Structure formats: structure tokens, C-alpha cells
């Protein structure tokens, strides 16, 4: 009898791996029946990870989206699963235990059956609560092995990790090949070891297709005894996404496995609807290069799930960098040139940082630090001169135990920055906080929501939830989308305007970033004699605004979003406060990490130039001190 292998559709991860946003709830509801009609899926990934933050970013309630998206699959018996990040739950930073526990309860009641939990450092201490909380909430606990290739990440390492997680109570194991760099034979050995020791434990394989190993890896996983395989479908399969279900089904069927047939009429409908969603607004956040296979990813090991956001981040940082280079009459870079520099820097710094598996959030941390190093080196500054707080937490052990050893230079760098290494349980550093958020809900007269889901959302994503409630998130997103559409719109034909009284008498010009107001003359008109007597008018340059000499300006060190605090434990500065040299006055949130901005001298805050959440560029004035 042929052994059956089942498929899980990663409809959420397909979008995350391709670009920044996901479909709106009415679009998800529209496509769900066709996904069901395809008849080949036993599981569908419906939520988790950055999914809810993205809902909030474009002004949509993620709890309503989750319930309405999971319901059609619940009704027909297709299991739904979510992705969660252990200590970080469904955000990028650590989450108090009481908030994590509430999340699992809420997700089960919203219709999610399986919690796929992973720790970016593979620290079992971080996964222990995820396993326990998931089961207490009534969910199936699927614990993940975050796969990567290094001198410390061996078959034995992952076999032992799986043993620990099963002993902790995990119902299933996911072999999470998040970058798609796991070599096929390597993956097969790990799965075979797990199934030999625990034949009744369900094993699911998740792999990205970008580097090019995925089809061979899936076949090896199948031969080793895997039960479920994660797949995608056109137009979002391959590239930075996952292998297409049609190819996987054909390969496994030919190899002698039992796989479900695919209703091709329904497949084409899902394919068409997904393209419709891309054309609607999501295409503005998907770089076309994300659809391509890229074997350069083998060396850097960066995961497909972050390549969509990486390309978006790279574009904005490249624009800022090229402005800096242009001001200094230096050659600008192309995106490909910057990308290669980034990949090379990732390969260089990764071993020095103790080989953290390159999965969220640590893939972002390593990538961000590499990019900051590249930008600083291009500008003639030193490597390691800009390290965000989240990255320091990873380095000194607050996020968990690193798999490898830190390089001596990193240890010395930490000590010189006054950092103390931590070896305790990471969760102990983050005290329960639900009571704080309950009080905020009451003060704002906000509804706690069905099953306390709105309370969970505020506690999980405070800044994004507040922006959603105020309407700022939706307004900012719509403005951003409008700008992207305008930028891609065909340029109108040039219209020649005859000279006459409509010509401007003055204009503002930008000279190397400094604005001047100048008078304008036309033809042979002479408004005034010039200083050099040549008969041409002298153009007086006058700055639009001059900086006061009595204040010291705190400037943005990079492009990103201005944030007064990084979480609810901090008190934001205000005008009138006194600060000391070295005090943190604000943060720049860039590429999902918080970069502290400090005062370079003692002073009194006399001005805060930006509003919380405002976008800023490098060298923008943030705070004024007197």
C-alpha cells in the first residue's frame, strides 16, 4: 500500500515571502471556497507571524480577519495552522508570559487548530512555554527545528533538539527549512532519525524554494517518512516563496507516494484571484525580483520569508545612501551592487555572532547589522558602530542561548559598551503586563472584544494597535499606496507654456540638500545690475529657514520611523525635560529593530521636531536641546 503524504497550503506565508502586505479580509473570504474546492489540502496556514501587524498597518481589525478567514476551513474539516515565535509570540520582540498564554487561548477560539512554534535560536527554554500554553489553550503543539547549515548545526544537533521538544510534550515536529538552504540528504537524515525514534509523531516539512534545493529536499523528506509537506501555488510559488503544489504532487506521485488529486478548475480560480489581489494593491509592495530563484542565497542563508521585506528595506536604504553619496560627489550604487555587499557582509559577521539560525527575528537582526556595517563602511566609518537594542539583546543572551561562541571582538565590544551577559531563562526578564493594558483599555473605553481578543491585540502590538484605533495607520497606508500608484503612473506629456504673466517671479531650489529662495528672470529682461557689471542679474540665495544658534540638534542616524519609546515600560521625553549626555532621547525604528538615539551633551529639551511614528531620513532633526 502506498504511503500517503498530505499537503498544507501556505497562503499567508506566500504573501509574506513575496512582499510587505497580505490580502484584505474580503479578499481572503473570496478565495477560501476555491482553495477548499481544489481538494488537495489537508491543512492551510491562515495566520501568525507578522500577519496581524500587517492587518493593523492598513487599518483592518486582525481578529475579525482571523475569524472570518479560518471559518470556511473549520466548516469542512481542513486544519488551520499559525506561526508563532516562542518568546516573541507573533511580534519581533519578547512578549510577557501572560500575554503569550492569552494569545494561544484567543487563537484557538478564533478557529486556529495548530500552533507552529519556533525559536530563532533553537533554545528549548523559549519553546517550553509555547508547547505548554498551546496545549492548555486546546491547540495542537507543533514545535519547530529552525534549520540552517553551520559547523554547530549538525544532524545530531537537530535530532537531539527534536527529542527534547517531544519530551516537553510537543505533539508534532516541523522541520523548518526557512531559508531553503538545508541540503536534501541532511534533511532526510534528520527526519529519518525522528521517525525511527517516534514513528507516531507527525513530522511536517517546510522549505523555501529560493536557493534551488526545495524539490530535491521534499523528495528526500518524503522518502525519510515525512507526513505533511508545505506548498504554495502560482502566481506566488517559487522564487522567495515555496515550491508549487502541481510540481510537488507530480513528483511525489511518480515516486510512488499516495497524494490527493487536484481540481484544476479550482486551481485556476485561486490562481486568478491571487493575481487579482496583486493587481489591486499588493503588487505595489512586491519586488519583481522576488519571483526569481537566486542561488546567491545559499551563501548568505537568508530566509525566503524575509526577502520580500528585505528588498523593500534595501530600496529605501539605497535611496538614502545614494543621496548621501551624491552630496559628496561620489559614485552611486545599484540595488544589485548593494545586495551583493549585504550578502557578503552577512557571511562575514554570522559566525562572529555565534551562528544564530537565520529566521525571524534573528535573520532580520543579522541582516540589519550587516546592512548597517555596509552603510557605515561606505561612508568611511567603522564596522559595528551602529547596533540596535534588539541586536544587543541577542548578543548578550537576553533572547536565549546562541548555538555557537561569540568572537572575542564581539565580547570586547559588548563590554566596552557596558553590556552585561545574561545566562538565565529569557522569559524571566519580561514580567506579566496584562493588567497595564487592561487599565489602558478601560481608560480609553475600548471594548475588550470577544474572548479578550482586543486586549490581546493591544498587549501584543501596542504601537500598531493604537495607530489602528486612532485611524492614523489607515491614513498613512492609504497615503503610501497613493504615492506608489502615482510613482508608477504614466508621466503626462510635456506641455509648452508660452512666456507671459504666468511665469514665476521666484522659486525654491535645492542645492545639495539646502533650500534657497531665488528670483527668476526671463529672456533679455534685466531686473538689476550685477555686482560684476556684466549686465546679468545677480541671483541672491536666501535660506528658507535658518537653524537657531542657541540649540543643539539631535539628528537621525538613519532612515526609519521616529519613536519616543520602544515599549510601555519607558517614559517618553517631553519639552522641558533635562537630559544628560548619553541618555536615550528617542528611537529610530528601522527594518523591525529599534535604534537608540542618545544626547551628545547635557541639556534641556526645548523642541521635539517629529511626531511619534513619523517617517524620517538620515540627518533629519529629531530633538532640540538648549
Q: Is the pLDDT of residue 225 over 60?
A: yes
In a domain? residue 581: yes
Mean pLDDT of 97-118: 97
What are the Cα distances from residue 369, in Å, to 121, 351, 379? 17, 13, 15
* C-alpha span between 568 and 429 (Å, rounded): 15
- Compute the half-sphere exposure of residue 558: CA atoms within 13 Å on the CB side of its CA: 30
* C-alpha span between 243 and 240 (Å, rounded): 10
User: pLDDT at position 540, please?
Assistant: 38
In a domain? residue 567: yes
User: pLDDT at position 600, please?
Assistant: 85
In a domain? residue 556: yes
- CATH code of the domain covering residue 618: 2.40.50.100
User: pLDDT at position 133, please?
Assistant: 98
Residue 28 · residue 68 · CB < 8 Å: yes
What are the Cα distances from residue 566, in Å, to 90, 385, 392, 434? 17, 20, 14, 17
How do residues 311-321 score in pLDDT, each as one tens digit? 666 777 788 78
pTM above 0.85, yes or no: no
Output Rg (C-alpha) for the chain, integer angstroms. 27
In a shared domain, residues 465 and 510 = no
Among 97-106, 192-201, 377-386, the range scoring the smallest mean pLDDT is: 377-386
* C-alpha span between 608 and 137 (Å, rounded): 45
Q: Is the pLDDT of residue 126 over 80?
A: yes
In a domain? residue 275: no
User: pLDDT at position 263, please?
Assistant: 98
* C-alpha span between 585 and 552 (Å, rounded): 13
In a shared domain, residues 599 and 575 = yes
In a shared domain, residues 621 and 560 = yes
* Domain tally, the chain: 3
User: pLDDT at position 360, please?
Assistant: 78
Q: Is the pLDDT of residue 528 over 50?
A: no
In a domain? residue 608: yes
How do residues 167-187 score in pLDDT, each as one tens digit? 999 999 999 998 888 999 999
* C-alpha span between 276 and 283 (Å, rounded): 10
In a domain? residue 616: yes
How do residues 137-166 score in pLDDT, each as one tens digit? 999 999 999 999 889 999 999 999 999 999
Instruction: Report percent pLDDT > 70 for the chain.
Output: 86
Tell me the range of 216-230, 306-320, 574-588 where mean pLDDT is highest.
216-230
User: pLDDT at position 491, please?
Assistant: 67
Q: Is the pLDDT of residue 513 over 60?
A: no
Confidence of residue 237 (pLDDT cuts 50, 70, 90): very high
Q: Is the pLDDT of residue 543 over 50?
A: no
What are the Cα distances from residue 281, in Å, to 21, 23, 24, 169, 424? 9, 9, 10, 42, 45
* C-alpha span between 213 and 215 (Å, rounded): 6
Instruction: Report percent pLDDT > 90 for the chain.
Output: 57
Among 10-24, 341-355, 522-536, the range scoring the smallest mean pLDDT is: 522-536
User: pLDDT at position 305, please?
Assistant: 53
Closest by alpha carbon to 86, among 143, 123, 126, 52? Answer: 126
* C-alpha span between 276 and 271 (Å, rounded): 9
Residue 13 · residue 46 · CB < 8 Å: no
Closest by alpha carbon to 398, among 341, 451, 356? Answer: 356
| Helix then strand then coil, % of the chain, to nearest 5 | 45, 15, 40
In a shared domain, residues 570 and 618 = yes
In a shared domain, residues 562 and 598 = yes
Confidence of residue 291 (pLDDT cuts 50, 70, 90): confident
User: pLDDT at position 544, please?
Assistant: 35
Q: Is the pLDDT of residue 515 over 90?
A: no
User: pLDDT at position 530, please?
Assistant: 37
Domain with 480 in it: 434-488
How do residues 449-489 score in pLDDT, each as one tens digit? 999 999 999 999 998 999 999 999 999 999 988 998 888 87
In a domain? residue 484: yes
User: What mean pLDDT, rounded, does the chain reach?
Assistant: 87
Residue 168 · residue 124 · CB < 8 Å: yes
Confidence of residue 297 (pLDDT cuts 50, 70, 90): low
User: pLDDT at position 375, please?
Assistant: 87
In a domain? residue 472: yes
* C-alpha span between 27 and 219 (Å, rounded): 33
In a shared domain, residues 584 and 605 = yes
User: pLDDT at position 214, please?
Assistant: 94
In a shared domain, residues 569 and 620 = yes
CB atoms within 10 A of CB 182: 29
In a shared domain, residues 563 and 534 = no
In a shared domain, residues 469 and 513 = no
Amino acid at each position: 500500500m502506498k504511503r500517503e503524504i498530505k499537503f498544507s497550503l501556505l497562503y499567508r506565508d506566500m504573501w509574506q515571502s513575496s512582499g510587505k502586505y497580505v490580502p484584505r479580509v474580503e479578499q481572503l473570504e473570496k478565495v477560501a471556497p476555491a482553495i477548499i474546492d481544489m481538494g488537495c489540502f489537508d491543512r492551510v496556514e491562515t495566520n501568525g507571524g507578522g500577519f496581524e501587524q500587517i492587518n493593523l498597518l492598513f487599518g483592518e481589525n486582525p481578529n475579525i480577519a482571523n475569524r472570518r478567514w479560518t471559518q470556511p476551513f473549520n466548516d469542512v474539516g481542513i486544519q488551520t495552522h499559525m506561526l508563532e515565535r516562542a518568546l516573541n509570540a507573533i511580534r519581533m520582540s519578547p512578549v510577557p508570559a501572560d500575554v503569550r498564554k492569552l494569545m494561544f487561548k484567543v487563537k484557538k477560539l478564533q478557529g486556529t487548530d495548530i500552533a507552529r512554534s519556533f525559536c530563532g535560536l533553537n533554545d528549548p527554554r523559549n519553546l517550553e512555554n509555547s508547547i505548554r500554553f498551546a496545549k492548555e489553550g486546546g491547540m495542537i503543539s507543533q514545535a519547530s527545528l529552525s534549520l540552517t547549515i553551520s559547523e554547530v548545526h549538525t544532524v545530531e544537533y537537530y535530532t537531539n533538539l527534536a527529542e527534547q521538544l517531544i519530551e516537553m510534550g510537543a505533539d508534532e515536529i516541523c522541520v523548518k527549512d526557512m531559508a531553503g538552504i538545508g541540503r536534501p540528504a541532511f534533511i532526510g537524515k534528520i527526519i529519518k532519525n525522528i521517525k525511527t525514534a517516534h514513528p507516531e509523531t507527525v513530522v511536517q516539512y517546510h522549505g523555501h524554494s529560493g536557493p534551488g534545493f526545495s524539490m530535491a529536499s521534499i523528495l528526500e523528506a518524503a522518502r525519510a517518512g515525512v507526513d505533511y509537506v508545505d506548498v504554495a501555488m502560482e502566481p506566488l510559488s517559487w522564487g522567495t516563496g515555496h515550491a508549487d503544489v502541481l510540481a510537488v504532487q507530480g513528483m511525489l506521485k511518480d515516486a510512488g507516494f499516495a497524494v490527493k488529486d487536484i481540481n484544476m478548475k479550482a486551481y485556476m480560480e485561486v490562481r486568478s484571484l491571487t493575481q487579482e489581489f496583486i493587481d489591486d494593491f499588493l503588487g505595489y509592495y512586491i519586488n519583481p525580483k522576488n519571483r526569481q530563484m537566486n542561488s546567491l542565497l545559499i551563501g548568505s542563508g537568508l530566509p525566503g520569508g524575509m526577502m520580500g521585506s528585505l528588498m523593500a528595506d534595501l530600496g529605501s536604504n539605497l535611496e538614502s545612501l545614494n543621496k548621501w553619496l551624491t552630496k559628496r560627489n561620489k559614485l552611486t550604487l545599484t540595488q544589485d551592487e548593494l545586495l551583493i555587499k549585504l550578502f557578503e557582509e552577512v557571511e562575514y559577521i554570522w559566525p562572529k555572532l555565534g551562528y544564530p539560525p537565520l529566521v525571524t527575528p534573528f535573520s532580520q537582526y543579522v541582516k540589519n547589522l550587516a546592512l548597517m556595517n555596509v552603510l557605515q563602511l561606505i561612508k568611511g566609518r567603522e564596522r559595528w558602530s551602529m547596533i540596535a537594542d534588539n541586536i544587543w539583546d541577542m548578543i548578550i543572551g537576553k533572547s536565549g542561548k546562541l548555538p555557537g561562541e561569540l568572537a572575542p571582538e564581539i565580547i570586547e565590544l559588548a563590554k566596552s559598551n557596558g553590556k552585561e551577559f545574561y545566562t538565565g531563562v529569557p522569559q524571566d526578564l519580561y514580567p506579566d503586563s496584562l493588567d497595564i493594558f487592561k487599565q489602558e483599555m478601560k481608560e480609553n473605553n475600548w471594548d475588550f472584544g470577544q474572548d479578550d481578543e482586543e486586549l490581546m491585540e493591544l498587549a501584543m502590538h501596542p504601537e500598531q494597535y493604537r495607530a489602528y484605533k486612532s485611524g492614523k495607520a489607515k491614513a498613512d497606508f492609504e497615503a503610501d499606496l497613493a504615492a506608489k500608484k502615482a510613482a508608477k503612473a504614466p508621466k503626462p506629456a510635456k506641455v509648452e507654456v508660452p512666456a507671459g504673466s504666468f511665469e514665476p517671479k521666484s522659486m525654491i531650489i535645492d542645492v545639495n540638500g539646502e533650500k534657497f529662495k531665488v528670483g527668476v528672470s526671463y529672456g533679455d529682461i534685466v531686473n538689476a545690475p550685477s555686482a560684476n557689471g556684466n549686465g546679468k542679474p545677480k541671483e541672491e540665495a536666501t535660506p528658507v529657514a535658518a537653524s537657531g544658534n542657541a540649540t543643539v540638534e539631535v539628528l537621525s542616524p538613519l532612515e526609519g520611523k521616529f519613536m519616543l519609546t520602544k515599549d510601555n515600560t519607558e517614559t517618553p521625553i517631553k519639552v522641558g525635560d533635562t537630559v544628560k549626555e548619553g541618555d536615550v532621547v528617542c528611537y529610530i525604528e528601522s527594518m523591525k529593530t529599534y535604534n537608540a538615539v542618545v544626547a551628545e551633551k547635557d541639556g534641556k529639551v526645548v523642541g521635539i521636531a517629529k511626531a511619534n511614528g513619523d517617517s524620517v531620513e538620515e540627518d533629519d532633526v529629531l530633538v532640540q536641546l538648549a
